[in-house]
Amino acid sequence: MTQTPPSRKADISRRTQETAISVSVDLDGGGARTIKTGIGFFDHMLDQLARHSGISMTIEAEGDLHIDDHHTVEDVGIALGEAILAAVGDKRGITRYADCLLPMDETLTRVALDLSGRPFIVFRTAFHTDKIGTFDTQLVREFFTALAMNSRMTLHIETLYGDNDHHIAESCFKGVARALGEAVRITAPGGAIPSTKGTL
């Protein structure tokens, strides 16, 4: 008799005086996505994160955009990280470690991550300007910091070279997407937790 694998889905809601965020993820959903944050460039980046990871995502956010985009971007990162952490459960059978070398035209970004339970981020990516359109380039790091801390992953992102800031940002999101999709993949169904400690 074939056992039905456990659902790897999660729903997270986050409400503060600054934002209202709802996130749903399905690690095995194939990358279907509905993204509405009110920030056009950020929506585009989140769309790439879902599409290239194969993780289905519904992300709806309302924030104090009359001030700036910071609270919304950071809180989406927090909620998405919490959702990924909940969806992987005890991490039994997952790949855990993954990396990606992501080219985008003249830009090359390297990403490596570990769903370790030990949150840490190294972000070695520099932008040439303060804005991509109206989007503050500093918020790329803020998003990935929030994502790493709240999914409890170790995340390294390094852009080796690049000239176009849109390409630099997008290579970071696509690189994380590819690595994350591989890291959450079940490679040993019903198998051991991938740690000598027996827990992650």
What pLDDT does 30 receive?
Answer: 97
Section 10-25 average pLDDT:
98
Each residue's pLDDT tens digit, 78-97: 999 999 999 999 999 999 99
CATH at 177: 3.30.230.40
Each residue's pLDDT tens digit, 54-66: 999 999 999 999 9
What pLDDT does 5 receive?
Answer: 60
pTM: 0.95
Per the structure, the complete domain to which residue 129 belongs is given by 9-183
Residue by residue, what is the 3-state secondary structure of 111-131? EEEECCCCCEEEEECCCCCCE
User: Could you tell me if residue 169 is inside a domain?
Assistant: yes
Domain count, the chain: 1
User: Could you tell me if residue 150 is inside a domain?
Assistant: yes
Q: How far apart are CA 10 and CA 25, in angstroms?
A: 5
User: Could you tell me if residue 193 is inside a domain?
Assistant: no
pLDDT over threshold 70, residue 183? yes
User: Could you tell me if residue 174 is inside a domain?
Assistant: yes
User: Could you tell me if residue 101 is inside a domain?
Assistant: yes
User: Could you tell me if residue 196 is inside a domain?
Assistant: no
User: Could you tell me if residue 151 is inside a domain?
Assistant: yes
Describe the strand order of the beta sheet including 97-104 as a list of residue ranges: 97-104, 107-114, 154-161, 120-124
